[in-house]
Amino acid sequence: MKVKITFLKSGDFIFLSQLNLYILFSRAIRRADLPFVPTQGFRPRLKISFLTPALKIGSLSCEEAVFSLSRDVSLKEFSAKLKDTLPEDIFVIFISKY
Amino acid sequence: MINFADFRRPLRYLGREWNLPKKDFKSARYSLRICLCFPELYEVGMSSLGFNIVYRLLNSFDNTACERCFLPAEDLRDFLIDKNIELFSLESKTPLREFDALGFTINSELNFINFLWMLYLAKIPLAEKQRKRPLVIVGGLPNPEPLSAFVDAFYLGEFEPQAGKFVNILSSFKNSSKEQILENISQVEGFYAPSFFSLRKGPKGYNFSAEEDKKSVFPVRVFARDINKIFIPRKPLVPYIQTVHDRAVVEISRGCPNRCKFCQARAIYSPYRQRDEGLILSLIEDIYYNTGYESMSLLGLSTVNHSQINSILDRAVKFSLGNKIKLSLPSLRLDKSIGTVLEKFLPLSSGGITIAVEAASERLRTFIAKEIDISALEDVAKIFGVSNFTTLKLYFMAGLPSETKQDVWEIPRLVKDFYYLCRRASRRKIQFNISISCFMPKPFSRFERERMEDIEELEDKIKFLRKEISRIYGVRFIYPDIGRQVLETILSRGDRNIALVIEDVFWNLVKSRADYRDNFTLYLWDKSFDKFNIDRQQYLGSYKFSPSAWAHLSGHKGL
């Protein structure tokens, strides 16, 4: 199952680089104990793809990312768990199936 | 107000990590405000386990608010000087001068200059005698004497057992004079107020005595008797930028049961204590779910020596397979059991192995009491044949006491033999890294009284090793900065006189606004040594027949 989230990067987190944003999300998913899909590479990472292009550091932005999950999770559960593990300044606006 | 967007890596200065204590750091509700400082950049400081433990520990007291401050990088540093802004804490951006106490973690002698930089940027007088507040407390140094002129009190050893007493004294004597606080705090074992004692150099070595009008317990190094029952942070901070060690850390033991003569860490973290298997596993689980780190490291001076290492690894590997995380161990000791330990890692397909061999010849290894089983290298080579380990790092030391040309010759020979052994065992390309460092006679190690070899001798040895080892195809040679290691030895064995030199070098660096990497330029230091007519060779020679500058700090006490 794939879930698309639309989120706002604001506050101090506008200084987050694209790589750090990826790390932030992957750690948030792990903290939430959500069923993630690892990549098949030599060093497995989480499958997260960003639909919006990487922006320069320091810009307030609204971005989209797609998470791959290994089993079905209700969107309600997903959003509740993710809300607890994301910092406030990464504000999730919208969650949908992808 | 500072616009952090103008500086490199702004997230260093924002204090917005995950797992930050839920405290309103700005409120006046706290009877004690402490700023924990680390005289290195954010990325280095946040990787220090000790720093993180003390931060969590102090914040676990309800009446205490503990904040952090790191050395600002050169760009922000110059901005602060130009705009006349004081150095501030990360969490509430309060100037350091407004805190009740500053606690510095200094774990390397090479950070002495950075320590002075932080005081200078905070507009706090450097000399201990010239200031009333805040109290400057330094922990983590084996031999703290070189900083005596700048510090109100040192803390020796492990902080966990005495944190409660420390917070009590500081908060109840909040409005008293500095002398009163120091008098009370020096009654607590582990604290050492250098102004209460004199350390003079006589013809027959150093003389340490208490000042007449001051009351204090004799300084001792404190350790926790049972490391299962002390405070353990289960919610460490997770930075949002990459740090030097960007992973979860679980301490499995403190101290080391081996008695290698060159080792300082063994001496200052003694005795050897280990954590119970059950506690370690619950820590692994808790720390993973609280941080979400994708890699984890089990920490200890010699992890192979843990009595339950096999069953711990079995269960830890199972946990990391289930959650797709990386598991690693710090540098391994070549033990008979190394083969079985490494086999546990086979299901995890990544990483490297680091082995500290130190000396290549059997004779020298026996002399330095590094009793390892060199034939276990065959087991390591076998493991490389069947696993996905990609890198192998071997540590050696040059300039050990009694080292002969023959001993140095054996290093490239051992590397070559082992390299071909691995090549035969495995068809994959293995990255071989050989790291050489110079022997430093550090205080409290069993070689503390030996001499350090001259720069010229060491240069010759390193040159030779570099030539020989680079000749082996596929092996990378990592060589030391000899000047820096000489400087580290001088500072670690220093006495109180050396403070003059440190301060002089610091002011020269401030004048030229030098980069931090210039801190270690040896000729700058030589100029200051000459200025005060101090012979730096006296800190590098042997101390065989006289009391050393740190002999009075060798007492231990368990709590």
What per-residue confidence (pLDDT) applies to B382?
Answer: 87
Alpha helices in B387-481 (DSSP H): 405-425, 455-470
**B460 shares its domain with B530:** no
In what helix (H) or strand (E) does residue A24 lie, and over which residues does it extend? helix A18-31
Cis peptide before B134 (omega within 30 of 0): yes
| Candidate from B4, B10, B293 with C-beta closest to A27 | B293
Within a domain: residue B331?
A: no
**B441 shares its domain with B504:** no
What per-residue confidence (pLDDT) applies to B277?
Answer: 94
**B119 shares its domain with B195:** yes
Of the residues A24, A31, A39, A46, the best mutation for testing chain B's interface (the one with the most B CB atoms within 10 Å of its CB) is: A31
Q: Give percent of chain B with pLDDT exceeding 90.
A: 65
CB neighbours of B446 closer than 8 A, spacing ≥ 6?
B259, B261, B262, B267, B369
Q: Give percent of chain B with pLDDT exceeding 70.
A: 100
Q: How would DSSP label each residue in B352-398?
A: EEEEEEE-SSHHHHHHTT----TTHHHHHHHHHHHS---EEEEEEEE
Of the residues B243, B286, B324, the best mutation for testing chain A's interface (the one with the most A CB atoms within 10 Å of its CB) is: B324
Average pLDDT over residues B352-378: 89
What per-residue confidence (pLDDT) applies to B331?
Answer: 82
Last residue of a domain, one of B188, B203, B225: B225
Half-sphere exposure (Cβ direction) of B249: Cα atoms closer than 13 Å: 21
Confidence band for B5, pLDDT divided at 50, 70 and 90: confident
Res. B430: pLDDT tops 90: no
Least confidently predicted of B12-26, B322-336, B340-354: B340-354
Average pLDDT over residues B540-559: 85
Res. B202: pLDDT tops 90: no
Of the residues A17, A18, A23, the best mutation for testing chain B's interface (the one with the most B CB atoms within 10 Å of its CB) is: A23
CB B327 within 8 A of CB B317: yes
Q: Which of residues 224-253 of B touch A (CB under 8 A)?
A: 238, 240-242
B70-115, pLDDT tens digit by residue? 999 999 999 999 999 999 999 999 999 999 999 999 989 999 999 9
Within a domain: residue B460?
A: yes
**B522 shares its domain with B443:** no
CB B139 within 8 A of CB B39: no
Last residue of a domain, one of B225, B256, B282: B225
What's the gap in Å between the CA of B387 and the closest CA on chain A? Answer: 13
What's the gap in Å between the CA of A70 and the closest CA on chain B? Answer: 13
**B488 shares its domain with B358:** yes
**B458 shares its domain with B524:** no
**B448 shares its domain with B504:** no
Here the CATH number for the domain that contains residue B209 is 3.40.50.280
Average pLDDT over residues B242-270: 92
B263-274, pLDDT tens digit by residue? 999 989 989 999
How many structural domains comprise chain B? Answer: 3
Of the residues B18, B286, B291, the best mutation for testing chain A's interface (the one with the most A CB atoms within 10 Å of its CB) is: B18
Cβ distance B240 to A16 less than 8 Å, yes or no, reads: yes
What per-residue confidence (pLDDT) applies to B384?
Answer: 83
CB B44 within 8 A of CB B62: no
B440: domain range? Answer: 351-496
Please state, in angstroms and rounded to a whole number, the distance separating the CA atoms of residues B50 and B158: 9
For residue B269, the cross-strand partners are none
Within a domain: residue B220?
A: yes
Q: What is the CATH number of domain A2-97?
A: 3.30.70
What's the gap in Å between the CA of B295 and the closest CA on chain A? Answer: 11
B124-134, pLDDT tens digit by residue? 999 999 998 89
Question: Taking CA atoms, what residue in A is nearest to B243?
Answer: A20
Cis peptide before B271 (omega within 30 of 0): yes
Distances (CA, A) of B78 to B73, B74, B328: 9, 6, 39
For residue B298, the cross-strand partners are B250
Res. B349: pLDDT tops 70: no
What per-residue confidence (pLDDT) applies to B181?
Answer: 93
User: Chain B residues with CB inside 8 Å of A29's CB?
Assistant: 292
Cβ neighbours of B523 (radius 10 Å): 7
| Candidate from A28, A58, A89 with C-beta closest to B292 | A28
Confidence band for B394, pLDDT divided at 50, 70 and 90: very high
Cβ distance B240 to A13 less than 8 Å, yes or no, reads: yes
Confidence band for B431, pLDDT divided at 50, 70 and 90: confident
Reading the block at residue B500, the tokens are: 């003059």
Question: Taking CA atoms, what residue in B is nearest to A19?
Answer: B241
Last residue of a domain, one of B191, B225, B259: B225
**B188 shares its domain with B107:** yes
Q: Which of residues 361-390 of B touch A (CB under 8 A)?
A: 388
What's the gap in Å between the CA of A56 and the closest CA on chain B? Answer: 11
B486-503, pLDDT tens digit by residue? 999 999 999 999 999 999
Confidence band for B436, pLDDT divided at 50, 70 and 90: very high
Question: Taking CA atoms, what residue in B is nearest to A43?
Answer: B350
Here the CATH number for the domain that contains residue B423 is 3.30.750.200
**B517 shares its domain with B400:** no
Tokens 């301490």 label which residue? B251
User: Chain A residues with CB inside 8 Å of B349's CB?
Assistant: 42
**B390 shares its domain with B516:** no
Q: Helix (H, G, I), strand (E, B), or coil: what is residue B235?
A: coil
Question: Taking CA atoms, what residue in A is nearest to B351?
Answer: A43
Within a domain: residue B335?
A: no
Within a domain: residue B20?
A: no
- Whether the CB of B295 is below 8 Å from some CB of chain A: the reply is no
Alpha helices in B102-201 (DSSP H): 112-121, 163-172, 178-185
**B450 shares its domain with B515:** no
User: Chain B residues with CB inside 8 Å of A30's CB?
Assistant: 288-289, 292-294, 323
Within a domain: residue B9?
A: no
Angle at which helices B482-492 and B455-470 pack, to 10 degrees? 140
Question: Cα B426–B432–B434 angle (5° rounding)?
Answer: 145
As averages over each run of 10 residues, the pLDDT of chain A (98 residues) reads: 92 90 93 89 83 88 93 92 91 91
Confidence band for B175, pLDDT divided at 50, 70 and 90: confident
Q: What is the mean pLDDT of chain B?
A: 91
What per-residue confidence (pLDDT) applies to B545?
Answer: 72
Within a domain: residue B312?
A: no
**B380 shares its domain with B511:** no
What's the gap in Å between the CA of A13 and the closest CA on chain B? Answer: 8
